[in-house]
Amino acid sequence: MATATTNFHATDAKQGVLSRFFTSFMRGLEAHHRVASRRQAIEKLEAKSDEELAKMGLKRDDIPYYVFRDLFYI
């Protein structure tokens, strides 16, 4: 027996075109903000000296992992 699932929500059908547009637009802005803030964090860490990074317990090669550590399951 086969089953199918959908991600359709009853509220989606009630939303108008403009409402869906602005919802999507806001999601895009939020995604951009997340990416931009991580990029800024990488730039700030890369601007530090090796001694400053060592005090933080980091090596220069570990900066991307440190910034994106919440996305890894280690």
- One-letter amino acid of 12: D
**pLDDT tens digit string along 33-74?**
887 888 999 999 999 999 999 999 999 999 999 988 887 765
Between 5 and 62, the more confident residue is 62
- Non-local CB neighbours of 60 within 8 Å, separated by 6+ positions: 46, 50, 53
Task: Please indicate, yes or no, whether the overall pTM of this predicted structure exceeds 0.85.
Answer: no
> Is the distance from CB of 25 to CB of 33 less than 8 angstroms?
no
